[in-house]
């Protein structure tokens, strides 16, 4: 039996974090945070306060505090890329922007790459990024 998307995500997170429970917690919180923002953009009935709750948990996580100088600049970059993806997704008739938006909407995965770099080094980051982007692309298409 093939694992479902949730199981694949769990397996990737465990492999990504290499047994670091604080990193796993951070990845779970990051995933919840970015998805609550995405829900706010995409769903009419999304709770508008949920991203604030998720952000409070995320930015108080132990792994975030231990690695804030490496993670915070990435938060800003990912936020800018996600914003651009939302704008370009709505650029009807501009297929280049829409194609780029389809890729940029996965920018949040860069955070997982940074976590992989922190817990396992350069080669681990490259291995995990390839797996995560391919799994995410498959899950979205």
pTM recorded for the entire structure: 0.91
Asked whether the predicted pLDDT for residue 78 surpasses 60, the reply is yes
DSSP string, the chain: ----HHHHHHHHHHHHHTT-HHHHHHHHHHHHHHHHHHHHHH-TT--TTHHHHHHHHHTT-HHHHHTHHHHHHHHHHHHHHHHHHHHHHT-TT-HHHHHHHHHHTTTTHHHHHHHHHHHHHHHHHHHHHHHHHHHHHHHH-
Asked whether the predicted pLDDT for residue 4 surpasses 80, the reply is no
| Predicted pLDDT of residue 19 | 95
Q: What average pLDDT score do residues 14-31 get? A: 96
Q: What average pLDDT score do residues 77-99 get? A: 94
- Domain of residue 122 covers 5-140
Q: How many domains does the chain have?
A: 1
């Amino acid at each position: 039996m093939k694992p479902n998307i949730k199981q694949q995500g769990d397996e990737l997170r465990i492999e990504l974090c290499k047994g670091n429970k604080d990193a796993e917690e951070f990845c779970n919180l990051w995933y919840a945070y970015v998805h609550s923002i995405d829900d706010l953009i995409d769903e009419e009935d999304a709770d508008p306060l949920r991203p604030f709750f998720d952000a409070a948990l995320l930015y108080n996580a132990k792994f975030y505090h231990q690695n804030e100088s490496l993670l915070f600049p990435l938060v800003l970059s990912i936020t800018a890329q996600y914003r651009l993806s939302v704008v370009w997704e709505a650029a009807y008739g501009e297929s280049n922007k829409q194609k780029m938006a389809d890729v940029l909407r996965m920018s949040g995965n860069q955070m997982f790459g940074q976590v992989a770099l922190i817990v396992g080094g350069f080669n681990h980051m490259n291995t995990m990024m390839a797996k995560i982007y391919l799994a995410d692309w498959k899950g979205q298409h």
